Structure 1
Amino acid sequence: MDVLVVGATRGTGLALTRRLVADGHRVTAFGRTASTAFASPVEGSVDGPGSVRPVDGDALDPDAVAKAVAGQDAVVVTLGISDNPLAVQWLHRSSTPADVRSRGTATVVAAMRETGVRRLVVQSTYGLGDSWRHLDLTWKLVFRFVIGRQFVDSGRQEEVVRGSGLDWTLVRPVSLTDAADGPPAHVTTDDTRRGLKVSRAQVAGAHAAALADPGTVGATLSVSA
């Protein structure tokens, strides 16, 4: 399968790129510094029967996104902000626009409609919608006062996805860690969870499984460990 990963240079996007290559897929790794992130010797860590093609581009650039989307079988969006969340929340300071999730996803959706690509998987945030009631008070405070601006934008992102008319799946992981890959993540469609931490590698596995399962079209997946 030809898969475009938007936001492929770090975090879950990088873990997913590695997973898809290991599974034999042809991955277009899209990001502002993709050619640097996947340059030798780092590229050597992306091993498997598949392949990776880094493409430099901004997710908010319609022309760059449209070129990357054309010819793909599926698109996965793993956009986020790597800056200190308190600086983003209270100082409005980040190297990435605070609304990158919603605006970037809207740009991807427009490009997919234009090029006829149907399959879309988007990483969102656990705690949105009915999953909010499964958070304890501490996590609710974190979501409101530490990552509140990003949380609101994730909600807008989900609205874009649900209204896209595409074959979409939303993936809502709990708090992400860089722990080594463990057993497959716990994935539900009823907003329930196990713990409140899950590794990016485990979430990448959930993304890959969703891509391969047409039964996840139109589903919102809660991912935990």
Structure 2
Amino acid sequence: MKIVVLGATGNVGSRFTTQAVKAGHQVVAFARTPEAVQSQPGVTTAQGAAEDTAALTAAARGADALLVSITGPMKDGDFMQRNLPKIIEAAKAAGVDRVVLVSAFGAGDTAQKASGFARLIYRTALRRFFADKAAADQLLQASGLDWTIVYPINLKDAPALPETAVEPLAGVGRVPGLPTLPFDNVAAALVGIITDPTTTRQRLLITTPRGWRPSR
């Protein structure tokens, strides 16, 4: 596959890029600063910002899928709401139907599945951040594209764990405590998700094998 990555210099996007090319895919790293993208076989770069519809359209022509793994400053309460419509417009103009969005566990109705302590954090210190994520999720679902939205739990820079759980949100009853997952695990899960057509129109939790409980 040919995959365009927004957020290719970020913690998740950079690792996704490396793992995707190792799996045999081509990656176009769309970034404000292409020189910050790690040079490696199978990766080309295109310069532009998320709000630059024309540049993203040009970069995405001929691609099979688009991974959106971007996050604005915590104080910016409408970063995703401003930028995602322009990304959707670019994907449609470029003829790319497959879009995978990296959201965050705690956004929208996913918070109902969190522990009491986690919900307190989501509703206070991170309230605007998660509200923006939730609104963006709804925009993508209404776009008419072949979307998938993923909700990673808390992430950290650590060696990869042997296993990762990827579960449809409808089947998740609870995410106890505050589980954390290394960036590399999420990146590997995303490579599998974006290349799997059966995940289209699904909302998926990415967590540790023990970091979730099924619905009753």
- 1:2 corresponds in structure 2 to 2
Counterpart amino acid of 2:35?
T
Q: What is the alpha-carbon distance in structure 1 between the residues aligned to residue 138 and residue 205 of structure 2?
A: 17
Q: Once the 2 structures are TM-superposed, how far is the Cα of residue 139 of structure 1 from its aligned partner? A: 1.2
Match of 1:222 among 205, 208, 213: 205
Gaps of 5+ in 1: 89-96
Task: Name whichever of 145-154 and 117-126 sits farther off.
Answer: 145-154
Q: 1:80 pairs with 71, 83, 86, which one?
A: 71
Of 71-80 and 100-109, the range deviating more from structure 2: 100-109
Q: Percent identity?
A: 30
Unaligned segments of structure 2, at least 5 residues = 209-216
Does 2:106 align with 1:127?
yes
Residues 148-197 of structure 1 show CA distances to partners (whole Å, capped at 9, x for unaligned) of: 22111101110111001011100000111111222231111023547621
TM-score, length-normalised on structure 2? 0.87
Counterpart for residue 43 of structure 2: 52
Q: 1:183 aligns with which of 162, 165, 184?
A: 162
1:121-200 equivalences under 5 Å are: 121-189=100-168, 190-192=171-173, 193=175, 196-200=179-183
Aligned counterpart, 1:203: 186
Tell me the SS of whatever aligns to 1:201.
helix
- Counterpart amino acid of residue 13 in structure 1: G
* 1:105 and 2:84 correspond: yes
Inter-CA distance 130–152: structure 2 relative to 1 (3 Å threshold): closer
Instruction: State the partner residue of 1:92.
Output: none
Tell whether the 8 Å contact from 2:108 to 2:131 is kept in structure 1 after alignment: no
CA distance in 1, matches of 2:196, 2:88: 20
The CA distance in 2 between the partners of 1:7 and 1:98, in whole Å, is: 19
**Contact in 2 for aligned 1:60/1:100 (Cα 8 Å):** no
Equivalent residues in 2 for 1:8-47 (5 A)? Answer: 8-33=8-33, 35-38=34-37, 42-43=38-39, 46=40
Contact 1:79 1:100 in 2 (8 A): no
CA RMSD of aligned residues (A): 1.8
- Residue by residue over 1:57-95, the C-alpha shift from the partner in whole angstroms, topping out at 9 and shown as x without a partner, is 1101111121122111100000113x5x4xx2xxxxxxx
- Secondary structure of the residue aligned to 1:111 is helix
Q: Secondary structure at the match of 2:13?
A: helix
Closer/same/farther in 2, CA of residues 55 and 184 from structure 1, 3 Å limit: farther
What letter matches 2:29 in structure 1? A
CA drift of 1:98 comes to 4.2
